Amino acid sequence: MTVDFSQLEKKLDIVFSNINLLKQALTHRSYLNENKSWPLGHNERLEFLGDAVLELSISNQLYKKYPQLPEGLLTSLRASLVNSNNLVKVAESLKLENFLLLSKGGKKDSDRSRTSFLANATEAVIGAIYLDQGFEGADKFINRIVMPDADDILNNKLFKDAKSLFQEISQERLGVTPIYQTLKAWGPDHDKHFVVGVFLAEEQIAEGEGISKHEAEQNAASQALKNKEWS
């Protein structure tokens, strides 16, 4: 498989001093199993680094951009910008999927796995940019690619996540706090999947699936709002 990473550099608007960092950021663990001669490692360490860089950059930019917002609202706004759904949008805007190195089986995986691959790759690319260009370079990239949605999220109150909303309404209407329980979990550490149920008292209202417990809980809460016809 031949991938022209210079095309991705153009999309990122960044010229790497060490192009191997970008290549590694797009190398999924499964690819190494079928390509023993590939000289680089997989992208999980870069993903770990990129996650931290992204959170710091977004925190710093939100703090400066919205001087009147309280801490709680800044936290919710940041969560909306760095969650997996938004990271997948970023990946799709950059067409990262065209450059992602996966095993043959990985390319055929479900949409849920695809979401995981793309969100993780986005963080790994940010980690690679940080190592190659320093925090300033990564910060500029994040400001250009991730931050533009902040005003829309804030103005349309999209930061209010389903889990918070479901708890608020259930406490107001029923005097009950929702409880979340993991019903199923499977997959290797780098590609975990969870099914979580949400309960009011002992009644299960809904369940949701996700690549983390947090995402599964959010999806369960979203489905619970629909099941209860609460808005």
Of 17, 18, 24, the residue nearest 3 (C-alpha): 24
Tell me which of 51, 132, 207, 217 is the catalytic residue: 51
3-state SS string for 113-153? HHHHHHHHHHHHHHHHHHHHHHHHHHHHHHHHHCHHHHHHH
Round to whole Å and give the CA distance between 72 and 44: 30
Round to whole Å and give the CA distance between 55 and 110: 28
Residue partners of 196: CB distance under 8 A and separation at least 6: 180, 181, 182, 183, 207, 208, 209, 210, 213, 216, 217, 219, 220
Tell me which of 47, 123, 132, 207 is the catalytic residue: 123
Round to whole Å and give the CA distance between 117 and 190: 10
- Active site annotation includes 152: no
Supply 156's token pair.
């349309």
Q: Are 59 and 73 in contact (CB under 8 A)?
A: no
Q: Which residues are catalytic?
A: 51, 123
